[in-house]
Amino acid sequence: MSQAQETQNSFVKQKSPAEECVDFFHKERHARLSLEMIIENLNGLKKIALKLGLESGDQLLQQAVKGNTKSIAAIESLLLRPQSTFLGSVGMCKAFENTLLPQLINQNSSRKKISVWVPGCGEGYEAYSLALLLNVHRKELRGWKLHVHATDTSNSTLEQAETAVFDADQIDEVTFGLYGQGLKRNGDDYSVRSEVRELITFQNTNFYDSEPPQEAYDVVVFRNQLSYRMPDLQEKIIKNFEKSLRPHGYLILGFGDALLSLSSQFKVFANTQGFYQKIL
């Protein structure tokens, strides 16, 4: 190599672990990861790295680029999902309860079953919120089979979800009054009562590559996650949800998630923002 080439190479900037990770997630995971998101969450990345037996956040990013599934799942969980709080969306719960639940009861009166899928469930906040909501209507739904299927690709977050224990500061008096009868206070924590916990099944499943279930769902809840994905993956996800829903089933997205440009198979349900119904 000539001296000129060596000089030129010395000016070529080597990508940082963060930049390499951003490139990897764009190309291999079709995800909208950015340097800003990494920089804003350096402390969180370091904590995750230590839990996984790594020395630093950079090492976590490097392991992800090499294809380490635990590192990839951990980064996705921290950076590419909304940081939920327990019963954090009372508006969504009330819309589900007042608008969608009566429709489900009417549609399913003969089969007496309501099944809900929460893909990318993380530590289970959304799944437990829905189970608590259904629990409030136990008397009305006596004899019905109620099931919330919560899936994720991170074993560590699923293990946390299975504990069914949450910080007391994650739920206020108003939401506790609405849906808290399925919770028990233990010092600084709330634990989910067994009758609510038994409504949920947690499973490690990749929601956009998995085969449609043998028995389709009535509702899929995927709030505030779609916008973190690249357009081609968004389309793939929505097509999988279409296949996974019963005829005239329902899809609940976040306020910032645009759906109708991705699929002609859904219509807005009852003029409720984020609620869609499968046309066929």
- Picking from 137, 133, 142, the residue whose alpha carbon sits closest to that of residue 180 is 133
**86 falls in which pLDDT band (50, 70, 90)?**
very low
Q: Per residue in 145-158, pLDDT tens?
A: 999 999 998 888 89
CA atoms within 13 A on the CB side of 121: 32
pLDDT at 82: 61
Tokens representing 250? 């329902």
Q: At CA 214, angle to CA 213 and CA 219, rounded to 5? A: 50
Q: Is 0.85 topped by the overall pTM?
A: no
The secondary structure of residue 213, as a DSSP letter, is P
Cβ neighbors of 112 (< 8 A, separation 6 or more) are 143, 144, 145
CA gyration radius, the chain: 21
Burial class from Cβ neighbours inside 10 Å (0-12, 13-18, 19+) for residue 83 reads: middle
Lowest average pLDDT, out of 2-16, 53-67, 211-225, goes to 2-16
Q: Per residue in 126-142, pLDDT tens?
A: 899 999 999 999 999 99
C-alpha–C-alpha distance, residues 52 and 55, integer Å: 9
- Picking from 8, 264, 246, 223, the residue whose alpha carbon sits closest to that of residue 96 is 223
204 vs 83, higher pLDDT:
204
CB 129 within 8 A of CB 87: yes
Residue linked to tokens 């609940």:
252
Tokens representing 251? 């899809």
pLDDT at 45: 93
What torsion, rounded to 10 degrees, do the Cα atoms 197, 160, 126, 196 define?
Answer: 10
Domains, the chain: 3-79 (no CATH), 90-278 (3.40.50.150)
Average confidence (pLDDT) over 177-194: 90
Q: For residue 65, is it left (φ>0), alpha (ψ between -120 and 50) or beta?
A: alpha
Lowest average pLDDT, out of 151-160, 170-179, 218-227, goes to 170-179
